[in-house]
A = this chain, B = another copy of it.
């Protein structure tokens, strides 16, 4: 469910008057995405996505996000491109919310990840990192290491109701990850949330999936580039039964490395970055799990999926012990 804010026809009509997109043809809520309200918008000018930014997005970050998407799109990355209004401004207001119209991207996100998705994913991620190099401005990663202790505090009172002993284990693992966290790796603009539902694919000429779009840049930030790889290793390379799929991980790393060769320090740091990424999703899911009221219209994602991944990566001292 991703329509939190309803838009009246009058408000929509007035909003579209600010754009040179022709007349409205259709307007439908999109089921996907959890942070913002998304609508499929069709006008005489074509297909677009209208996003209303909900309260979990800090409005002060929006110019940075939209600027990044514009910057990346101008460098050939297939990502949503903010559409400016007649006055040149892309960030506007609708139904009392910050709002923007972005270009529509073709493609389908993979409901079941196959090895054939992972190679194009790695190449697309490297291209994203390279294209972001000259994007000015720094957005700290609010969900990076400094954000984890407060998240854990927020779940301390009720976390053990999810699994007995969970909080004690997380205290220990968080301390280990923070102690091992690297300080000096190549930094840049990262996506930070590149899960399968944020990557669209279409079959290429030979039928193999090709990346047709990367979406949802609202966790993007300035951090270690290799951390994005760690997020993808978590999100793309485990099977539903919890097994780590080395073949997928090799495909992902291989094409990434071919486009942006990993430094030895990045390779050495990847296992702890993977632990950190697992912890980040574990902590936000745990927080949501323990703070979402019963009956809320949000899918609560299982935090324990990421406890299993965290434990898995905690057993790996190096990439080679992961089979990589």
Task: Find A28's partner among B7, B26, B27, B40 (CB 8 Å cutoff).
Answer: B40
Chain B minimum-CB-distance residue to A24: B108
CA of A40 to CA of B111, assembled, Å: 16
B25 touches A28 (CB 8 A): no
Contacts of A203 in B (CB 8 A): 13, 23-24
A2 touches B25 (CB 8 A): no
CA of A295 to CA of B296, assembled, Å: 6
Task: Find A32's partner among B29, B32, B107, B112 (CB 8 Å cutoff).
Answer: B29
B299 touches A24 (CB 8 A): no
Known: A10-B112, A12-B108. A29 touches B30 (CB 8 A): yes
CA of A106 to CA of B1, assembled, Å: 22
Chain B min CB distance to A42 (Å):
7
B112 touches A26 (CB 8 A): no
Q: Does A300 contact B (CB under 8 A)?
A: yes
Q: Does A169 contact B (CB under 8 A)?
A: no
Chain B minimum-CB-distance residue to A11: B111
Task: Find A7's partner among B8, B9, B12, B111 (CB 8 Å cutoff).
Answer: B111
Chain B minimum-CB-distance residue to A112: B8
B299 touches A25 (CB 8 A): no
Q: Does A202 contact B (CB under 8 A)?
A: yes
Known: A25-B202, A29-B30, A202-B25. A9 touches B40 (CB 8 A): no
Q: Does A3 contact B (CB under 8 A)?
A: yes
Binding site for B on A (CB under 8 A): 1-3, 6-10, 12-13, 23-32, 40, 42, 47, 104-108, 110-112, 200-203, 209, 294-297, 299-300
